[in-house]
Amino acid sequence: MSSSVDTQEEKDKKVEELRRDAEKGEWSKVIQAYEQERALRMAKITPTGDTVLHVAVSYGEEKVVEGIVNILDQEEKSHTQDNVVVIVDGDGGGDSSWNKNIFLGVENDRKDTPLHLAGAMGIVRICKKIGGTDPSLIARRNIDGETPLFLAALYGQRDTFLWLHYLYVRSHEVSSTDFAHCIRDNHDSILHCAITGGHLDVAIEIVHLYKDHLKEMMRRNKEGLTPLHLLAGQRSAFETSALLDMPNLFLPVYRCWKVKEKKQATTFEELQKSEHDTPREAPFFRKFTMWVCFLSLVGGCSSLLALVCVLPLVLLLIIVSILIGSLLDIFSVAEAELRNVNIPIMKVKLTRWYQIMTKLVQHASDEDMHASDEDMSQLRPRSASKQFSDSLQSDELNEPEAMAKRPSGTGTKETPLMIAVKNGVIEMVEKILESFPSTIKDVNVEGKNILLLAVEYRQANVFMFLRKQKWINESVFRKVDKQGNNALHLAARPGETKWFEFVKRKMPRAGLLGTYNRNMETPEEIFRESYKKHLKNETEWVVKTSEACSVVSTLVVSVAFSTRTSVPGGYDSGSGYAVLRNNPSEFKIFRDSSFAALFFSLFSTICFLSIVALSRVGSARRHSWSNVASKFNNGVYFMFASIVCLWISFCAADFFMLHDHTHKLKKTLPTYILLSMSLFLMVILQLPTFLRPMWSYLWSITQVQLRSSTPEN
């Protein structure tokens, strides 16, 4: 009895030593103990039940893992008999036929093998070593039914995923129709996870590698979601949303940039070749800087004369770097655009996502695209208490970011088309309606079809696309939800004048504007109430900003007035005329620019004061506040214009004074040119910010109306 206790204590002591050595990174001792003490190979040395091999993989020790696998290989080769038995103490204890695959497939408390950890972390070298030794481990499931291949797709490890896939399918024991290892217990497929995580490179490989299994991948998971549901929620994967933040200057370049579609998956030969490719060269500026530093170092070490020769170049480089850094800090808009916009990568990304969406729609079935019978049963008449409870639940799930999430086991209540409409993914809406025209009749649990959803979520592109489709029946536009709300009711709820008027112009007017919902409210009544709340929330910021801007514009007015009345050189005491009036060109520039500065600053002050005065009156009429945005923008435009005119008048006055002093003028001219160029660059870089409101108004609304064909009422 005591001997067994001593044996257990001795084993626990060795396990503790092994754990400490692994935590300290003393892997030579770990490998030595692993080779000598076979009983420690299955010992759990962490609270989560990890073995030595688990810990080595989690630390990314590739050489250690390879050393352990080599030890197991050598031991197996050294045994000439297959019936050698070794007692291994695992979780359940007992005897097991010696096999290196037993140690490679050891599991922790979550039933994760070392290959699971390597697949999730994307360690290709370890995956190749373990997966190549025992390909069956690639299909081993953990407690959630996830395989190492599944985890590689889940975490977006493209190279690891491809290696595990080819190692698995190239083994002799695997059938070409085997697909179970790509689905976990909650029925999520690898395509579900790749799309949810936004792993484009993995998703496009899956579409090509498993093209014969796309119908199986399109099945719903336990939450009732297909990959198409999830893709419809990825707004940044499509041009309609991804190009909104792109500067207008880059849009023509993006449109002209050509990208080829990916026709097939990465082959095994290409995957092997990619490992031996040389890394990309460093950028030019980094190489240039390193070269200059090297020259300066060599020059400093060789002689003082060389250092003196190189020092001006180094100082020039430092000065240029400081100037560039200062300009980038000042022109933050340009810096952000140059840093964030990568047209080739964005074009490839959006093209690949569109290609995936097209493939999924082609392989989708009617069952995947339509609401299920269970969902449609939710639209039958029910008691008032049941309707009230459902309305509370729908309010909680009404946010756009929660539209693709439902409690487990309930099933989704919306089709991929509805989710695409909510997110404004016009590409998917077009493709689905082209392949499945009958989906136009589907409604969600609230009784809303895609037109009502487009109006509710203010998706103007989708709304206008539906209005231009001549094949859509007029009843779709007159559809009401379970609360009796038509499209105008929903357009009136946000309280935004432009959106309500826009929808009202495009919808058939007969019978819609005066329709009552179940709360006995017309669209106009709903708009009046919501407009008051919207006005209260939105005008507070505008009024405070206008008050601050009015103070600034008043100061500019005073400066412009003093500049206008202070003529360079003064007036002749005898005649009262300007002393330097004999220089007509310079005097005219000063006179006109100072007058323009005074006019612009006065106009700016009037615009800001009119907004402040309107808030003091407290008017809540729609027409009173309809032009507040344009007044505010005009005030800002004219205030900056007055500042520019003041600078022009100042420069003209200074040149006017130095007209007869050629030597002084030559010294002053470079300074004014440099300052004027800085001001000009500032105006050019900030011009898109000033023009964006006007551009948005002229392009987003007016151009949509011009491009659309107004349907007959």
Position 246 confidence tier, pLDDT thresholds 50, 70, 90: confident
- What's the pLDDT tens digit per position in 147-170? 999 999 999 999 999 999 999 988
Helices (H), 210-303: 214-217, 227-232, 239-242, 251-256, 268-275, 284-302
Is pLDDT above 60 for 123?
yes
pLDDT of residue 395: 39
Looking at the DSSP bridge assignments, the partners of residue 571 are 578
Homologous superfamily of the 10-185 domain (CATH): Ankyrin repeat-containing domain (1.25.40.20)
- What's the pLDDT tens digit per position in 348-364? 999 999 999 999 999 99
> For the purposes of burial, counting CB atoms within 10 Å of the CB of 384, is it exposed (0-12), middle (13-18) or buried (19 or more)?
exposed
Domain boundaries, the chain: 10-185, 283-340, 540-660
532 neighbors 523 (Cβ within 8 angstroms): no
CA angle, 246 as apex, 242 and 250 as ends, to 5°?
A: 125
Tokens of residue 207, six digits = 């579409």
613 neighbors 550 (Cβ within 8 angstroms): no
Is pLDDT above 60 for 586?
yes
Position 702 confidence tier, pLDDT thresholds 50, 70, 90: very low
Nearest to 557 by CA among 602, 589, 618: 602
147 neighbors 181 (Cβ within 8 angstroms): yes
Report the range of poorest mean pLDDT among 48-62, 174-188, 532-546.
Answer: 532-546
Position 448 confidence tier, pLDDT thresholds 50, 70, 90: very high
Question: How far apart are the C-alpha atoms of 62 and 540, rounded to whole Å?
Answer: 60
Report the range of poorest mean pLDDT among 303-317, 416-430, 458-472, 512-526.
Answer: 303-317
DSSP 503-521: HHHHS--TTTTT---TTS-
Report the range of poorest mean pLDDT among 3-17, 252-266, 625-639.
Answer: 3-17
- Chain mean position to CA 275: 30
pLDDT, mean over the chain: 76
Q: Is 94 left (phi over 0), alpha (psi -120 to 50) or beta?
A: left
Question: How far apart are the C-alpha atoms of 436 and 348, rounded to whole Å?
Answer: 27
pLDDT of residue 496: 83
- Which CB contacts under 8 angstroms, 24+ apart, belong to 389-398? 390/445, 394/445, 394/446
pLDDT of residue 241: 85
**Sign of torsion over alpha carbons 344, 345, 348, 351:** negative
93 neighbors 125 (Cβ within 8 angstroms): no
